[in-house]
Chain A
Amino acid sequence: MNASDIPVIDVDVLVIGGGTAGPMAAVTAKEQDPNLKVMLLEKANVKRSGAISMGMDGLNNAIVPGHSTPEQYVKEITIANDGIVHQPALMAYAQRSFPMIEKLDSWGVHFQKDETGDYDMKKVHHLGTYVLPMPEGHNVKKILYRRLRRHRVQIENRYQATRLLKDGDGRIAGMIGVNTRTAEPIIIRAKAVIMATGAAGRIGLPTSGYLFGTYENPSNNGDGHAMAYHVGADLANLECFQINPLLKDYNGPACAYVTGPLGGFTANAQGERFIECDYWSGQMMLEFFKELEGGNGPVFLKLDHLAEETIQEIETVLHTNERPSRGRFHDGRETDYRQHMVEMHISEVGFCSGHSASGVWVDETGATTVPGLYGAGDMASVAHSYMLGAFVYGQICGESAAAFAKARSGMPTLDEAFIAAELERIQAPLKVTDGIPPAQMEYKVRRLVNDYLQPPKVTRKMEIGLQRILAVREDLPRLQATDPHELLRAMEVQSIIDCAEMAARASLYRTESRWGLYHYRVDCPEQNDAEWFCHTRLYKDENGNMAHGKRPVAPYLVELGEEKDAYQKLRVQKAANA
């Protein structure tokens, strides 16, 4: 098939990814100007796609007046990230957090309120109060879908974006992709593009060995990170991996954020608390890892001391929301919160700014380093965004992209040669016979990520891991897809290989330890602020090679003061007379 045989679809604003940030971005662009042609493209189906396909049980980063201020939040998230954050982006989030809660409330998303009608805020973080439960949060996707229909956003389901397009001036020009059920290619020309493609959650292998038993929705496999890299955008701090505390084998969140305010906590095998605070940070994960591997391990979620009515409340929330098959998992092992602590473990590694801090670099307007390309949600670099951050940056990107599209005169020119080459790349696995199935190649590269890149990181091991990952890349000409669905997986495994290589190279570049377990290098164990108090950049240079650089940390809007080391003191201290 030639590029000229494929009709080009023209839009003003294209949103790639219809999970959390994407629908908000598309609706916002339409709110800015109903005459804009806005398309939302989704690899699955917008009704049930992304990280919150079954809803969400709470806001983990709500800045609600009377309970906290944007300044307090920016300070705490800066401390939790060992100082390496873009504070203007955090502040833009923090200031819009409460208006976004009110907007979602007016759309019918239910948040927990106390008897006076005030939002029922809970303290989970080390310093401030930012958690707002949503026990009835299972309907979020339905509410978003209604808004998309009301604003007449054009929705294209079951299309996988494979590459972004640029014009001759280096500005974004659209994308090329493929239908996941028919293998038909699609070319979209756009004046502005918003990426909301989620985490890179399928680069490590869960300890269960089940390829799709990941912490993240496995459709979030890093396509966006790979596309951003190939179009020339900067990625930031990729060595700051996501590693989360989870229910062992089930691999869903243990939900200390839900159980903590009700009296549950993370315990060691003796049933003792060993961390001061269950909020996810690299420092907390390092203490978790030490306990897991130490003589008091493994680690458990402890609820068996709680009253019956409290346990029923916890079961109602956790077994109907976000990951509702959790109850079924416990039933299968006859685990009862009343009688047993629940075994926990750590997740496979990934890139996810929702819980960690790495991703495609964006500033406080959601802009990447490619003009006209924006990023929101788990794939963009704003630290600890969670669901509310995805909504806020979806909104910010919707505004920015609408303005960019309106200011741009005429549709961009497309690079025919690039499109022809990309069509060939897409169709190649369908033409291979007696080749390597995508699942086998995927298992191999993800097993290498576990063996060689999972912290504690060791330089020589990572170098070997990188060589082994590159050897898998050499096998790509033999990658075979026997049907359109396998082609989807074949395109995904190429993104996974890109992300694995980026994870290795980024981890080798930063020769210090930072962010607790996330970038714990055994042979460079100290934090070295003199050399590494900076963001790291990873980008494709003019020769097509993976290159690195440093980006200074922007001047702080909020000083850290005497609490600056608070997250270095997460282990429970034994009293001197104990």
Chain B
Amino acid sequence: MPTATQRTSVPVIVDEDKCIADKGCTVCIDVCPLDVLWINPATGKAHMRYDECWYCMPCEADCPTDAVKVEIPYLLR
């Protein structure tokens, strides 16, 4: 069965100017209960790779540089 990809707007936004993942920080990636935050290989910064968010906010609360913002997923807004 062939597959297609479908775009989706994701609720976790990372400010790449503030994010220090490229310097070795993995705090938001570590604390996410759904494991949806990963390093973006193109930028070295954290990003939301899977649209599977509980909008629970440890990533935002624990980020040492206030780089992460959790919005309410569009379908719920």
A-side residues, CB < 8 A to B, are 44-45, 47-50, 53-54, 157-158, 180-181, 208-214, 217-219, 249-251, 323-325, 328-329, 332-333, 434-437, 478, 485, 488-489
A45, B73: Cα distance in complex, Å: 23
Give 8 A-B pairs besides A48-B62, A333-B77 with Cβ atoms closer than 8 angstroms. A44-B35, A47-B58, A48-B31, A217-B56, A250-B76, A329-B77, A332-B72, A478-B1
Between A and B, 30 residue pairs with Cβ closer than 8 Å are: A45-B30, A45-B33, A47-B30, A47-B31, A48-B56, A48-B58, A49-B33, A53-B33, A53-B58, A180-B35, A208-B76, A211-B52, A212-B53, A213-B54, A213-B73, A218-B52, A219-B33, A249-B76, A250-B72, A324-B57, A325-B55, A325-B72, A328-B55, A328-B71, A333-B77, A434-B1, A435-B1, A436-B1, A485-B35, A489-B52
Query: Smallest Cβ distance from A31 to chain B, in angstroms?
Result: 27
Name the CB-closest residue of A to B61: A54
Query: B44-77 interface mask toward A, CB cutoff 8 Å, 1 = contact, 0 = none?
Result: 0000011011111110011000000011110111
Interface assignment of B34: CB less than 8 Å from any CB of chain A = yes
Q: Which residues of A contact B62 (CB under 8 A)?
A: 48
CB-based contact A213/B75 at 8 Å: yes
CB-based contact A218/B54 at 8 Å: yes
Which of the four size classes fits the interface of chain B?
A: 20 to 34
CB-based contact B54/A217 at 8 Å: yes
Query: B1-13 interface mask toward A, CB cutoff 8 Å, 1 = contact, 0 = none?
Result: 1110000000000
| Option from B33, B35, B72 in Cβ contact (under 8 Å) with A181 | B35
A209, B50: Cα distance in complex, Å: 16
Interface assignment of B20: CB less than 8 Å from any CB of chain A = no
Name the CB-closest residue of B to A250: B76
CB-based contact B1/A212 at 8 Å: no
Q: Which residues of B contact A323 (CB under 8 A)?
A: 56
Q: Which residues of B contact A214 (CB under 8 A)?
A: 54
CB-based contact A437/B72 at 8 Å: no
Query: Smallest Cβ distance from B5 to chain A, in angstroms?
Result: 10
The main secondary structure of chain B at its interface with chain A is loop
Name the CB-closest residue of B to A19: B33
A214, B34: Cα distance in complex, Å: 13
Name the CB-closest residue of A to B5: A437
Q: How many A-B residue pairs have CB under 8 A?
A: 91
- Tell me whether A328 and B34 are in contact in the complex, defined as CB-CB below 8 angstroms, given that A48-B58, A212-B52, A435-B1 are known contacts: no
Q: Which residues of A contact B2 (CB under 8 A)?
A: 434
Between A45, A214, A251, A325, the greatest number of chain B beta carbons within 10 A of the residue's beta carbon is seen for A325
Q: Which residues of B contact A250 (CB under 8 A)?
A: 72, 76
Name the CB-closest residue of A to B38: A485
- Tell me whether A208 and B32 are in contact in the complex, defined as CB-CB below 8 angstroms, given that A54-B58, A218-B52, A325-B70 are known contacts: no
Query: Smallest Cβ distance from A71 to chain B, in angstroms?
Result: 38
Q: Which residues of B contact A328 (CB under 8 A)?
A: 55, 70-72
| Option from B3, B34, B70, B71 in Cβ contact (under 8 Å) with A219 | B34
| Option from B31, B54, B55, B56 in Cβ contact (under 8 Å) with A45 | B31
Nearest first, the 3 A-B pairs at minimum CB distance are: A48-B58, A48-B31, A44-B33
A53, B73: Cα distance in complex, Å: 19
A72, B35: Cα distance in complex, Å: 43
Name the CB-closest residue of A to B30: A45
A47, B31: Cα distance in complex, Å: 7
A411, B70: Cα distance in complex, Å: 46
Name the CB-closest residue of B to A436: B1
A271, B53: Cα distance in complex, Å: 33
CB-based contact B56/A208 at 8 Å: no
Name the CB-closest residue of A to B74: A210
Q: Which residues of B contact A49 (CB under 8 A)?
A: 33
- Tell me whether A325 and B1 are in contact in the complex, defined as CB-CB below 8 angstroms, given that A44-B33, A54-B61, A210-B75 are known contacts: no
CB-based contact B75/A209 at 8 Å: yes
Q: Which residues of A contact B55 (CB under 8 A)?
A: 213, 325, 328
Q: Which residues of B contact A47 (CB under 8 A)?
A: 30-31, 58
| Option from A54, A210, A218, A325 in Cβ contact (under 8 Å) with B34 | A218
CB-based contact A217/B33 at 8 Å: yes
Query: Smallest Cβ distance from B71 to chain A, in angstroms?
Result: 7
Q: Which residues of A contact B50 (CB under 8 A)?
A: 485
